[in-house]
With several copies, the nearest count.
Chain A
Amino acid sequence: MSALDPVVLFFVLGVAAGLMRSDLRLPSAVYEFVTMVLLLAIGLKGGVELSRQPLAPLVPQMLAVVAMGLLLPLLAYPVLHHAGKLARADAASIAAHYGSVSVGTYAVVAAYLSAQGVAFEEYMPVFVVLLEVPAIVVGILLARGWNAGHRWGELGREIFLGKGVVLLAGGLLIGWVAGADGVQPIGALFFDLFKGILALFLLEMGLIAVSQLGDLRRCGLFLGGFAIGFPLLAALIGGTLGWVLGLSPGGTVVLATLAASASYIAVPAAMRMAVPQANPSLSLAAALGVTFPFNILIGIPLYHAAVRLLYPDGA
């Protein structure tokens, strides 16, 4: 049962400590360390998997996933801009966050499924990498249109060379080149410790989530509703796509979760540079204060239950 999965309990501990205004914090250097190890580990796992099979058959799946990454922000934007009356820049920036993915959420769903003994396509990290970027581009275009003003070169660097993407993609390439045997000697750090390090990460995420509540209150109800409602819609889209692509039940749960997750690493940094007039606390409050907790506490088990209905036997 997810709620009992200890890594999730660490998140709950963080939330509780935060609500009780404990002085607990992960030193920022430690938080960076933990995040870097998670990103590299997820990349390595995916890369090793890629090295096990021909790439060609995956290309159609990859394209479909990228298409989803382009579609989601286009769905989110009008809701935020028209229904939510958010300024164009804010709506575009939030849309980019929700079109992209949260690596932390991926780590939790992977841990959840393995704890449940549900198999999934181990190359999923490839999708994580692919989903990071497209939504950012869409978000920038939504905010600024096709005008010449873009310094796309510099933006490209911001987007593709942010540490998040570099570590994830770098890990993927290393895993791909080195293969299972090559990676084995570094497995003790990146694989055996994965869940323990994820636990520390979630402890801090719980504290961060609470620290967002203040901003969230200021953002008002609409954004709070969006931060739960949109992930549900996105999960439906992601799940359907997974089903159409013929992914395993587990893989379908993962893709639904990825679609439902909102980025808080690659996108904020890129948006800050590309669309500075957007208020970053809106998107962070929604992504970290609502969507992340919702997904790991309720969303993932929910998406899993839904997929179980699709595949009575299996999952």
Chain B
Amino acid sequence: MHTETRTLLTVVCEASVASRLIADLERLGARGYTITEARGKGGRGVRDAGWDRSANLRLEVVCDAATAHAIASHLRDHYYDHFAMILFLAEVKVLRARKFGSDTA
């Protein structure tokens, strides 16, 4: 089975930024994303609530390395200072590589 390498970018952040965050992702070249509801704790304290007051969401994007890095630095520059957010990157193998952007990394 032929697989190719792509980058999985995982972001955990406060739910309040959802719509803005998604807009940015797509502008930066993500062809899709997956979101799950989450709660948790970090530098900005415990986040666990309904009515979006302080819920978290966990967002995943599979894309080529270049796009992943572009998104990551964008988030660091525009979100880290003011919003509860972490992100991490990992290499994954995918089947239909085109779907996730040509790897220009």
Contact = CB atoms under 8 A, between A and B. Distances in A.
Nearest to B81: A277
Contacts of B54: 280, 284
A313 interface: no
Interface in A276-292: 276-277, 280-281, 284
Given A276-B83, A281-B45, A28 B16 contact: no
Given A23-B19, A281-B45, A276 B53 contact: no
A180 to B, nearest CB: 30
A28 B49 contact: yes
A68 to B, nearest CB: 26
A160 interface: no
A281 B42 CA distance: 14
Interface residues of A, number: 24
Contact of A264 (B17, B45, B53, B55): B53
Contacts of B2: none
A174 to B, nearest CB: 22
B27 interface: no
Interface string A12-38: 000000000001001111111001000
A268 B53 contact: yes
Interface string A201-232: 00000001001001100000000000000000
Contacts of A268: 53
A277 B82 contact: yes
A28 B45 contact: no
Contacts of B50: 26-32
A211 B54 CA distance: 12
B16 A269 contact: yes
A273 B82 contact: no
Given A269-B16, A273-B20, 19 more contacts: A23-B52, A27-B50, A28-B49, A28-B51, A31-B50, A31-B51, A32-B51, A35-B51, A214-B45, A214-B46, A215-B45, A272-B16, A276-B82, A276-B83, A277-B81, A277-B82, A280-B54, A281-B45, A284-B54
CB-based closest 10 A-B pairs: A28-B50, A276-B82, A31-B50, A272-B16, A277-B82, A32-B50, A32-B51, A35-B51, A31-B51, A281-B45
25 contacts: A23-B19, A23-B52, A26-B50, A28-B49, A28-B50, A28-B55, A29-B50, A32-B50, A32-B51, A35-B51, A208-B49, A211-B46, A215-B45, A268-B53, A269-B16, A272-B14, A272-B16, A272-B17, A273-B16, A273-B20, A276-B82, A276-B83, A281-B44, A281-B45, A284-B54
Interface of A: 23, 26-32, 35, 208, 211, 214-215, 264-265, 268-269, 272-273, 276-277, 280-281, 284
Interface of B: 14, 16-17, 19-20, 44-46, 49-55, 81-83
